[in-house]
């Protein structure tokens, strides 16, 4: 069975906060570690086949026993919901704030 996960680890400038986001180094960087925003570019992780390209706003957090914090994003352009595993260097204060606002 073919994997639906394509590993792309690249730096970028966040379209929400304007900060430079460095490569993650151990997996794929798929959101800004400063403001937690992402961009709607993938249908499956790393495929870059989504044509929407809207900003994915962090709206909540789930806690997974296998993945740890999982950030829930909603696309500001099309409304799609996406989930991204939190990275080790993510802004923990924002993650906690999102977690508290979920409850």
Q: pLDDT tens digits for 22-33?
A: 988 766 788 999
Domain boundaries, the chain: 12-102
This prediction has a pTM of: 0.86
CA gap 39, 46 in Å, rounded: 12
Q: pLDDT tens digits for 76-93?
A: 999 999 998 999 999 999
Q: Report DSSP letters for the chain, one per residue.
A: ---S-------EE-TTT--EE---SSS---S-TTT--EE---SSTT----S---EEEEEEEEEETTTEEEEEEEETTT--EEEEEPPTTS-HHHHHHHHHHH-
């Amino acid at each position: 069975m073919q994997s639906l996960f394509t590993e792309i680890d690249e730096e970028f400038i966040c379209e929400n906060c304007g900060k430079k986001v460095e490569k993650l180094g151990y997996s794929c960087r798929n959101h800004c570690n400063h403001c937690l925003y992402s961009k709607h570019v993938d249908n499956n992780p790393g495929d870059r086949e989504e044509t929407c390209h809207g900003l994915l706003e962090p709206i909540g957090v789930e806690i997974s026993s296998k993945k740890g914090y999982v950030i829930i994003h909603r696309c500001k352009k099309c409304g799609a919901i996406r989930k991204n595993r939190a990275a080790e260097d993510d802004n923990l204060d924002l993650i906690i704030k999102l977690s508290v606002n979920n409850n």
